[in-house]
Amino acid sequence: MMNVDDSLLMSYVDGELPPEQRAEVEAAIAHSEDLSARVAAMRASCLPYRAAYERQGVPPVPESLKRRIDELVSVSAPPQRSGRRAPMQWLAAAFVAGAVCSGLLTGYLGALTPFHSNVSPWVRSVAEYQVLYGRETVASIKEDSATTEQVLADIRQRDGMPVRVPDLREAGLKFKRVQRLDYHDRPLVQMVYLPERGDPVALCVIEDPHADEPIRSQQVGEMKTVTWRANRMAYVLLAKDTSVDLQKMAEQIAAGKTANLYGKAKDDDALSS
């Protein structure tokens, strides 16, 4: 019997296997609940990343950075006779470019970025990822209850995270999908919703052993974020451009005032009925 590992399963999900090998993988999946669950999780994590990147315009170089590079070039280039200055400027500019690439100017560039030093690294990473999402990224995705239940069950069993999917329809948000992502070898759960207008809204959860922390709103780059910590779990609700009141929504989620579409609470209700 063939050895079906995650690499082979990913090639199967991406449609990259030849017909004969694809048939063998499908036969293995049909006889294995574990393989079936792994394929469902991989399919739930597939998004049109290429299209998301293609829609992103390259930001212009900040004027302050241009001026700083000019200053570094002028400092690096000693006075030269006529006809020798241009080559030296070119060499100095090349040095500056190399310094930027190698991280020598990281401190300066960091000061130009819109991220604040008091933003949790995982929140910053989520914001950088979520900014790629446009409305078209998830608009065509249809909610798949069976896949969602499977992904959540896998997260509960493998990661021990009691993740719940809040029902935000009263706020005009339609649930689209849940994904299990990785952040430095830690499970990070992303739930994506689509408002009636504007860009997608995401609720992300990660385990965090630190003390509980009240709700706090921050602008992280292009993203509006609302964060909090409770019961060894950290949360961030974020969106790029939406009419939704994220602060109010976060307060309702944190206070347990929203029903659950999927998750542990729903399972408990079913058992008690």
Instruction: For residue 52, tell me if it sits in a domain.
Output: no
**Whole domain around residue 79: which residue ranges?**
63-112
Nearest C-alpha neighbor of 41 from the set 137, 169, 135, 182? 182
Task: Indicate if 232 and 147 belong to the same structural domain.
Answer: yes
Q: Is the pTM of this model over 0.85?
A: no
In 80-156, beta strands by DSSP E:
none
Q: Which of 112, 129, 150 is the last residue of a domain?
A: 112
Tokens 């030849």 -> residue: 18
Instruction: For residue 162, tell me if it sits in a domain.
Output: yes
Please state the separation of Cα 5 from the chain's center in Å.
Answer: 25
| Alpha carbon distance 21, 4 (integer Å) | 11
- With H, G, I as helix, E, B as strand and everything else as coil, classify residue 210: coil
Q: Which of 75, 91, 112 is the last residue of a domain?
A: 112
Task: Indicate if 128 and 216 belong to the same structural domain.
Answer: yes
Task: Indicate if 108 and 125 belong to the same structural domain.
Answer: no
Task: Indicate if 82 and 196 belong to the same structural domain.
Answer: no
Question: What does each of the 273 residues of the chain score in pLDDT, given as a tens digit?
Answer: 568 888 888 888 888 888 888 888 888 888 888 888 888 877 766 655 555 555 555 566 667 666 667 666 655 455 554 444 445 555 455 554 554 444 444 444 444 444 445 889 999 999 999 998 989 989 999 999 999 999 999 999 999 998 999 999 999 999 999 999 999 889 999 999 999 989 999 999 999 999 999 999 999 999 999 999 999 999 999 999 778 899 999 999 999 999 999 976 444 443 333
Task: Indicate if 103 and 75 belong to the same structural domain.
Answer: yes
Task: Indicate if 127 and 250 belong to the same structural domain.
Answer: yes
Instruction: For residue 33, tell me if it sits in a domain.
Output: yes
Number of structural domains in the chain: 3
